[in-house]
Structure 1
Amino acid sequence: MKTVYTFIKFLIVILSLSPAFAQVQVGAWQIHEGNEGIIEFNTPDMEARIAAFDQAKIPAKSDTKWELAKTQSDGTVDYPDLGRNVKKCAQQLDFTYFQTSVFIPKNVDLKTFTVSYDMADDGARIYFFNSNHKNGGYQPGSDLIGNASKYKEVDLKDQLVKGEENRIVIVQYNQCTNNSIRGVRIKVNSKEVAPAVLPIKFRLHAYSISGNRVETGSDYWMGYDKNAQKKNAGDGNKPYFEGKIVSPKDATVMEFEKIDVDKAKGIIALKLLNSPIPDLYLQVGNDKLLTLYPGTPASGRGHFYVRTPEEKEAGGLNYISLETAGYPANGGWFLRHQGYVLKVTQADANARNDKVYRQDASWLFEPVK
């Protein structure tokens, strides 16, 4: 009886502490250069610079032109020079947009939720979207306006909705020479929360199977059958394995190590950690199928860019897509699964209009130790 009583007390303590263990998820920051182009608009004074935000046309969350934003090592957005497209100072506007997704569990004790930027030039404003603000909202006073304006922080605790995905959008504009935004960060209860970033070691979960998504997570992963080794007679009889979608009970789930090939360009290689033979890397074959092939990839066949998920409903919370970097040479080819086979497909307009393609080319990453 004493043992049962002790366990009940322990359980009560754990449950009472659950808000402290609940995690606020922040997706990777994305950047969009805008669809409106250069806008003719005069900004001779502060009143006009505030009114300039009304000229912005925030791209839809699902707009295909969103790309992963450049960040510092701590995950903060950092653009010291966004480019100078404005030709007529104080007479034109050039907008750039940044977005992220935020999920706040219902049991989190949220005292503050702040978004801040260290510097912006010429103007920046923070917007939020959720079920209470379907058309977007912003807090007056959240703007940074002026040449190299320094630091602004806004608390969105009362504007965000727990238990659902909230969208945060920063609208930045250039109206003269310098064009920059730096040090965008999010803090929860005064503690900085880093955006989701692909970890060094991870495995990849299929977003959906045959177009059917399981909200709680299906049991299908990027993997291979270690008992089905093949050999390439035309390349020194090298052994390799075909990549496919697997269930852990039937085959081996791939566990990858992310290898930086060109950090400045964001190009990576994917080395298999749980390999039956040394130095296997995920690579694209001549038939556009994915294999685990030995040897450090020396070409684009085994080089990839980490992209925002092709299926925009994924929301950016630990979801990615992988684009090949150099093979095929004309670009725009994404790693996907089809009929449980891993392959690359070109993401043309027809593909991106196909929900099954978008889901099959989107992956949920899970860190591994």
Structure 2
Amino acid sequence: MTDRAIQLREEGRDIISLSVGEPDFATPAHVIAAAKAALDAGQTRYTPVGGTSQLKRAAALHFARDLRITVPPSQVTVSAGGKQAIFHAMLATVSEGDEVIIPSPWWVSYPEIVRFAGGKVVPLTTYAKDNFRFSPADLEAQIGPRTQWVMLNSPGNPTGACYPEATLRGIGEVLRRHPRVLVLSDDIYAPINYTGAPHVTLAALCPDLADRILTVSGVSKSHAMTGFRIGLAAGPEWLIRAMERLQSHSSGNPCSISQAAAVAALEGPQDFLVDWCTRFRARRDQVVRAINAIPGLSTPVPDGAFYCMIGASPLMDRFGDDTALALHLLEHGVAIVPASAFGGRNGFRISFAADEAQLDEALRRIAKALAG
């Protein structure tokens, strides 16, 4: 699809991309200023492998303020994006044949990371009718003697689903009956929440389980800093140390300038997020309204993040599979991602991290492409 999109652009075609998972807003000015100041101050040398003490303290502030998880800086590590933290957690703990339960549709890298570590992916299928959430009973039915990890992503990519407090408490009850199972809670989209309720995460709700929960966060989505490549993880000290030992041999420390910028992001003003979330919510409503008006397409209302997972089962007789549907939409000027890329089927994901005029035009093109 990427090759075809490039070819179409080279032919002079106008392609609107709704496939990229990053905010379209500018990185806050105080963050850019902090990066420039770090450069001017000559902060261009190695830092400690797991991050500077300043950033670890700022990250501990973030986990306490935004996720209600109280951890000392010694239980925080900094990586080159959240993906690297997940990679190192899996490599440090997963042996050949160990099982990792991943709710699907899932973020595309989760299963590949598990497989790279030698683990076996155990899908936990969720459905649009349930707003892409699984129940505690669904989870328990998937746990077996080789289960090593359960992955949670709330708000989720690609579905935008948030797990409410009652469900997370139920998940905690299940985990108490299975004391060997670790939990990776990916909360990187936590600040982008439309439910009206405070974000909740498992480590905060179930502190007795904190010694086997790794919570992953970062500044990429919340502060439009995807290119800075800074991920944050908080968890038990034994796991944090193991991840840092791996990082010392893989990439070494995260970028020193990016770390300085991340300190400013976490310690500086957060009020801009109110406006960002208001605009994202309006875009979400714009997309949901337009998609549900197109025959053959449907989507639940996402709770957070900036994605809609769109069902297109009625169109499969016409197109055969969701990749063919995605290519058809690309030929009509809109780049999206087929559901099969996320372990789903018969649909596609739209990112509404694009300005309102682009969204309007893209939705118009989709409707036209599927008419008749």
Tell me whether the two structures share a fold, i.e. TM-score over 0.5. no
Higher RCO (C-alpha 8 Å, min separation 6): 2
Larger radius of gyration: 1
Q: TM-score, normalised by structure 1?
A: 0.29
Report which of the two has the higher share of strand.
1
